[in-house]
Each structure stands twice: as C-alpha cells, then as structure tokens.
Amino acid sequence: MYLYFRYMKYIWCILFLILTCQNPNKMSESYFEHLTPEEKSVIVDKGTEAPFTGEYNDFFEVGIFVCRACNNPLYESSAKFDAGCGWPAFDKVKKGAVNRYSDMSLGYERTEITCARCDGHLGHVFEGENLTPENTRHCVNSISVRFVAYEKLSVATFAAGCFWGVEELFRKQAGVYSTSVGYIGGQTNMPSYKQVCSGTTGHAEAVQVHFNAEEVNYETLLNIFWDNHDPTSLNRQGPDEGSQYRSAIFYHSEEHKNIAEESKNTLDSSERFPKPIVTEIVPATTFYRAEEYHQKYLYKRGASRCSL
C-alpha cells in the first residue's frame, strides 16, 4: 500500500506538470476582451494584415511599442527600420518579451513570434537577411502593437555636411537614444536624396538626435557639432559642395537657440577659427527622414568614418 501511494504521488506530479507546462503562456480571454474583431483576427486567430496598410509601417516617432492586447513592452522605436516589406520591422526586441514557435501553416517552416505575456500573435521573425548589423527582422503586424511616445527625450537637429559621418558621431554618444538622417530647411515636400543633391530643394542634409538630457546635455552635442566640421566654410564641407552641405543648427526651443547662439559667439571671439563662423542658427522646420539605406550608413558597414 505504501508503494502504491508513493507511485500514485509521482504519477499525479507528472500529470500536473504535463497539464501546466504544455503552454505556459496559454492565452487568457481577459487579455482580449477589449479587442475589436479586426484586432482579434490577427492577435488571437493569427491572421495577417495586408502589407503597406498598417498604421506603423511608415512610422518613425520616438517611443516604445507595446502589445495591443496586454501592454507588454516589446520594441524600442530605436530598433525600428524600413525593411521595405510592408510591415513594421525591428532588429531588436526587449529581453524576454516574445515567444518563438515553429509555424508550418504555409507549408514551409517559419518562426512565429507572440507576446510573452499573453501569447497574442505578433508576426514572424527572420534571420540571415543582412539588412542590419543585428541580422534579424521581427516582421510585426501594426494591429498587434500600440505605440507609446517618449516625452522625456529632447531633440536636436544639426547639419554639418554629408550626414553619414555626422550621424555616426552622435550615434555613439552616451545618452543619445536614437539618430536619424534626413532633409530639413527646404521648400519641397517629401524630397528624395536625388532631389536634395541637385541643390534645388533648399534642404540641408541633417541629423536629428533624440537624447536624454539627464545623461547628456545640449552643450555636449554642440561641442561634437563644432569639433567635427568646418563651420567657417560656406555651403561646403571637404569635397562636398552645395547648399545641401551647409553648416546649420536647427533649434527646437528658445533655450536651445540661446545656448547655440552663445556658443557660436564664444567661438567666434576666441579666434579658434581663422575665419568667421557662417553656421546658420534657425528654427527647425519639417524633418524628412531619408531613405533607409542612408540610415546608420557607417554602422551598417562596420566603418567609423566616411571613405568616398
């Protein structure tokens, strides 16, 4: 009898483990009660929204993407890139935020990704495409996530010649959350790189920097700007000539305007440069994000400086 109860104890323990561990992240209906039928069709029923239709496909604001069902933090906006696939793409995920499952629904193996908290369907993950240094693409349905903006970050925009090298300088600075290269200060809507290079749009190649002012101040960013280009050269930096390569600070607040002007005046009076500084200090206007192949150009190629 003793052996009988002893064995039954083991059997019940094994059954309990099987029942509870088959799917440790089994969907809980409470997470999905507030979803619309369209959201449930993707998150619960593992559907896929049509490409190029999701609200976050062409979206590059600064913040965090959370699970639409349970608000689990999933992806930092700094990990988002334009893969050209029609769905939001991320090359990094917050640690422990997603589950991975084998998916044979199309007749070949893919890797499905779901929210680690509620197990809601997000999309699929692909590796080995060499689109970014992380070599990973989380292909996510817009309808599966929700964006929450970061209000604690400050923004600064600088033009100092070819934006490839300028971006890499700021990207490596501690306290900088994200960098984007693009076009600002012109009169053409949605300009292309080819249009800007023609010098007819009035835009400057620029880098927009989002930073945590508690970790790095605006003065430090200004020093990086002054130290790494020639602010006395009008519409030219090295071999690059044209108004698109002008030296400019596009300020986003009166405080930054005052700091930039004081910094410029101090440098001008210090005789550090042999000629007067010609850097423009003007209000920030619409910043148009450049084509994806320009973003983090040097970082993607493992380079630390431009070598044209």
The pLDDT of residue 264 = 97
Share the mean pLDDT of the chain: 92
Say if residue 88 is in the same domain as residue 174: no
Q: To the nearest whole percent, how much of the chain has pLDDT over 70?
A: 89
The range of the structural domain enclosing residue 280 comes to: 154-300
pLDDT in tens, 205-258: 999 999 999 999 999 999 999 999 999 999 999 999 999 999 999 999 999 999
115 shares its domain with 189: no
Q: State whether 145 and 159 are in the same domain.
A: no
Per-residue tokens: 1: 């009898």
Is 15 inside a domain boundary? Answer: no
In a domain, 142, yes or no: yes
Looking at residue 307, what is its pLDDT? 52
What are the phi and psi torsion angles at 53 (to 5°)? -115, -20
308 pLDDT tier (thresholds 50, 70, 90): very low
Active-site residue set: 139, 162
| Residue 192 is assigned to a structural domain of this protein | yes
What is the per-residue pLDDT across 288-301, written as a single tens digit (0 to 9) for each? 999 999 999 999 99
pLDDT number for residue 201 = 97
- pLDDT band of 15, cuts 50, 70, 90: very low
- 57 with 181, same domain: the answer is no
Evaluate whether residue 158 is within a structural domain: yes
Total number of domains constituting the chain: 2
Q: Tens digit of pLDDT for each residue in 154-198?
A: 999 999 999 999 999 999 999 999 999 999 999 999 999 999 999
Residue 307 in domain = no
Summarize the confidence of residues 69-90 as an average pLDDT.
Answer: 98
CATH of the domain at 39: 2.170.150.20
Q: Is residue 32 part of a domain?
A: yes
- 252 domain residue, yes or no: yes
93 falls in which pLDDT band (50, 70, 90)? very high
What CATH number has the domain bearing residue 231?
Answer: 3.30.1060.10
Is 49 in the same domain as 110? Answer: yes
Same domain for 131 and 36:
yes
The CA distance from 143 to 42, in Å, is 7
Domain boundary among the residues 120, 149, 178 is at: 149
**Same domain? 66 vs 198:** no
